[in-house]
Every structure is written in structure tokens, then in C-alpha cells.
Chain A
Amino acid sequence: MSDITIGNEHLDASWFLILAALLFIIGAIGILIRRNPLVILVCIELMLNAVNLTLVTFSRQLQNSEGQLFALMSITVAAAEAVVGLGILVDIFKDREVEDVDELSELRG
């Protein structure tokens, strides 16, 4: 039931979940330690894709299409977010080179 078959290979579904969890953690750590806004945006995409992998794995494991539906929606949302995110970053890069999010510090108090 929890086996996933690819060609002749049988793999336990939990491996996919562990891989996804690792990807998610790598993305989260990247956001916390990297300072370049573009890299942070890439890390967010990595986290979202880790969740997509989780969703399709569960969908396969549970023999239930809702997870695939959810993953499709989340791919669409991630694309929209990337477009808007890159738009905002391009707009700000036109005025100044931001290589470090800590340079964005006009707002505090």
C-alpha cells in the first residue's frame, strides 16, 4: 500500500516524504541564513516544491486524487508568486542594487 513502483523498482513512500522534508528544511534554512533577496525567493520556491512532492506522495499513498489537485493549485500559485516577486525585485533593482536584505533598513523604530 505504501509502496511506490517506478518501473521495476519498489520504494517505500516514506522515502519521498523524507526527501520532501529535507528539501523543505533546506529552503527554510536558506531563507534564514542567505541575505540576497533573489536567493530567498528561490528558497521559497524550493519550500513550495517540497510541499508539492509531499502532496503527490500522500495522494499516491492514499489512492485519493485530492492531493494531486492541491499540488496543481499550488504550482499555479507558486508561479504567480514568482512572477509578482520578480516584478517587485526588478522594480527595486532599477533604483538600487540590493545584494543584502539588511540594506533594506529605512523602516525601523
Chain B
Amino acid sequence: MVLIAAATAYAVNYSADQAWSDLQQISPIAIVVVALLVAMVLDLVLPRRAQGPVSAAITVIGLLGSLVAALALIDRGHTAYYQFAVADNFAVFFDVLFAVLGILAVAVSHAYLARRNFLQAEFYVLLLAATAGQMVIAQANSLVSIFLGLELLSIALYVMSGFARKDFRSQEAAVKYLLMGGFASAFVLYGMALVYGATGTTLIPAIAKSLGPGAGTNALLLLGILLMGVGFAFKVSAAPFQMWTPDVYEGAPMPVTAFMSVGTKAAAFAMIVRVFATGLPSLNGEWAALLAFVAAASLIVGNVAAIAQTSVKRLLAYSGIAQAGYVLVGVIAGGADGQASVLFYLAAYLVMNFGAFAIMVVLARPEGDRDRIGDLDGLVYRNPVLGVLMTVFMLSLAGFPPSVGFMGKFFLFAAGVHHGYTWLVILAVLMSVVSVYYYVRVVVHVWTPVDAAERRLRLPAAAGLAIVAAGVLSVALGIVPAALFGLAQAGAVPVAGVGGG
């Protein structure tokens, strides 16, 4: 009876004005979904040859619209849909990041899809679905909406990683990702169910409020945190739950790898910060200990395993595991500075990591991706722009000044030391010294002289524009980090009682 009464009360109180105001709060997601539907319908009516360019155009227009809608929400957002969604600056920061990622992904994939003779419209529809999922995670304010966004993202990515249907390796990547991802989702969901059982609510701010002084001894709650932590670590590809990452990255078509390497990581970190830092602030000690273990394991496993790799995709996959470790340092540090450093680093990771993968996309041939490290030999002589930019991206990932990667690591480690995780920062610094070896190994291949017979590499215009933009940002944001760091600080979720000292 109570349930029915509650449902009726909701129905009566929900006015058209309220619906309009709620819709405005989630307009970045709504625009992406509308673009998705339009692209899907046009795919049915348009002749085959027009499908690719038209759906690419719709995707870019939709993502640009979503970007503008997100920017319009800065400082004006509030909760919507009975607090199930929120458009605070934290959410807006990630919305913008995901819209930019989507646009870059379209620019890079367009020529690739045509060259490898893939279905084009379907690819863009899936890309939009995955982007919508990422944005739902960013704007989620309840465990329910986080789970929905996570699955929307994951299910779209399962299909995308198997997009090269005739390629055994792509099929294998899809199956592995599906089975591991489903397993991880079940853990996340069970963890959420236990947290709901312990606190009586799925709304993240309400969870934070419900935590009393005895929360640290509530077995149900702690088990829930542990299970969610395991599931999140899977999604963010942190050790010891990273084993799917290299295989899926290697098997998936290159633009998909580029998209998911940044997209899933940023979305999973949005989820971790939202649930742990905002939802469970008074249990900071418990989840920080769990994440500190995961961070240390990721730093060691990622950096050590990357050394021996001969495939650039696998090398960047292990590098991504290590990078997850660096970002976790900022999450564990917490406080406004820790969270700002996390946001800053994720934006930096977008430009440098996507840039590196985008160059590998351009190298692909009609019969498949070329991801042996030897395929990069003499890149700088075959195409000077790509060669120089690959060098920039690798040095930025390694954390050389004056790149954005250096500034990002500096902010992360400063926050870590400030909040008393000096041991973890020392480990991270030592491990980033190790990482220099394998990043520089790529650079050495790029600058190795080759026979003049090796023909020059043609660079498609859209992909070239995206790669150059990423390269310029990688350097510019390293020299003048203040603008981006200001945005990251504005986006950090203010959390009472965490860190702060």
C-alpha cells in the first residue's frame, strides 16, 4: 500500500514545467540520443552510398549540440528526475570531455571505416550510444542511473569491439569483453544492492547522509563497497582485474580501441569519484585503503608488463593500466585538489592517449590494423607531422615537461603527498621512470631511418585535423595549464569531511 501511495504522489506532482526543467538538465544526453535515433532512421531510408557521410555528419552535429548544451549548464545545473540525475559542474566537465572524445573519434574513424569497408552508419550509431552511456554515468546521481549508464556504455562497446566481423581476433575480443564485462557488471550490481540494503536508498547524496558513526562496522555496507570496488577496478582496467584489457585492445578495430581506451577510463573514474567520494565520504579510510592496493598493483603490473610488448596496441593497453594507477592516486588523495587533479589528468589523457591511437588508426591497411612496433619504423620520414606528433604523445604519456602529461602527473602527485600518501607517490614516481623505457622505445622506432622505397603515408584530412589538434593541446596545456586546471577545480565535487587537510 505504501508503494502505491508513493507512486500516485509522484504522478500527481509531476507537472509539464517540471518535465521541461528536468529535460533541460539532461539536455547533453538527450541531444545525443536524438542524434542516435535520427541516424538510425536515416540509415533505413538513404541509399547505401550516402549513409556513411550523412550519419557521420549527424553524429558530429549531435555531439556539437551536446557540447553546447553542456557548456550552457555550467554553474546553472541542479538535480533532476527526483534526484536521479544531476548537472553539477563535475557532470558538465565529463559531458564536455565525452562530446569532444566522440567528435575526435568520428574524425579519425571516417576514412578508416571506408578503407576497411566496414558498415559506417551502424558504427556511428553505436558510437553515439556509447557516448550517451558515458554521459549518463557523468550525470548520474543515483546508483540506479550509474548502473544504467554503465551498461549502455558497455553493451555498445561489446558490439563495437567485434566490429570487424570477419576477423577472428575482433570476434575473440568481443567475446572476452562481453564475458568479463558481464561478470564485472554483476559485481557492481551486487555491491550496489548491498549498499542499498544497508542505507535504505540508492540516491548518492542520501547515502552520504545516512552514514552514521557506526557505518564503519556495518558488514553489509563494507561488503557492498568491496564488491563495487572490484567491479569498478575491472571497468577502469586496474590491476589485479586488468587481464581482459590487452586482449580486447589488441583485437578490437583500432578506432574502437582509441575510443574505449579513453572513454571507459574517464567514465569509470567519474563513477568511482561520484560513488566513493560523494556517496561514502565518512568511509574514506575503508575505500581509500582498497583503492590504494589497486593503484599500487596497477602501477607495478602495467609498467612492468608494458616493457616486453611488441604490439603498440598491447603496449598502450598496459600503459593504460599504469595510467589508471596514477589517476587513482588523485582519487585516493581526495579533497578538492585531489579531484581537480583527477579531472585535469583525464582531460590530458584524452588528448595524448587518443592522439597516439589516432596515429595508429591512420597506419591501418584495408586488410587490417598494423600494430607491430616495427610498423612505426621511420614514421617521421614517411610523414613528418605524424612522426613528430607520435613523439609528442609518447613523451607526454611518459610525463616529460613541458607536456600536459607532466603537468597532470605533477598535480596528481602533489595532491597525493598533500594528503599523506607519500609511499604511493614514491612508487608512482619510480614506476613512471620505468615507463620512460617503453615510451621512448616507440619514439626510437619512429625515428629509425628506413629505405627510401617505403612510400609516403597519406593523411586523411579529418583525421589529420584531429591528430594535430590533440598534439597542439598536448603541448599547449602543458605550458599553460592554468585554464584547464581552473575548469577542473570548478568541476571538482565539493565534499565535506574528506581530506581537506
Which residues does A use to contact B, with CB under 8 Å?
17, 24, 27-28, 31, 37, 40-41, 44, 47-48, 50-51, 54-55, 58, 61-70, 73-74, 77, 80-81, 84-85, 87-89, 91-92, 95-96, 98, 101, 104-109
Contact = CB atoms under 8 A, between A and B. Distances in A.
B189 A48 contact: yes
B197 to A, nearest CB: 4
Contact of A88 (B3, B159, B311): B159
- B-side interface size class: 35 or more
Given A58-B193, A63-B2, A66-B144, A91 B202 contact: no
B314 interface: yes
A68 B168 CA distance: 41
Contacts of B183: 28, 31, 44, 47
A88 B171 CA distance: 8
B61 interface: no
A24 to B, nearest CB: 6
Contacts, number: 135
B169 interface: yes
A109 B309 contact: yes
Nearest to B249: A107
Interface string B274-318: 000000000000000000000000000000000001110010000
Contacts of B193: 51, 54-55, 58, 67, 70
Interface in B148-201: 148, 151, 155, 158-159, 162, 165, 168-169, 171-176, 178-179, 182-183, 185-186, 189-190, 192-194, 196-197, 200-201
Nearest to B174: A88
Contact of B162 (A28, A70, A88): A88
Given A50-B190, A64-B200, A84-B158, A73 B144 contact: yes
Contacts of A85: 158, 178, 182
26 contacts: A24-B186, A28-B183, A37-B175, A48-B189, A50-B190, A63-B3, A65-B6, A65-B7, A70-B144, A70-B202, A84-B159, A85-B178, A88-B162, A88-B171, A88-B174, A88-B178, A91-B171, A96-B168, A104-B172, A104-B176, A106-B172, A106-B251, A107-B176, A107-B247, A107-B250, A109-B246
A95 B168 contact: yes
B324 interface: no
B267 interface: no
A54 B189 CA distance: 10
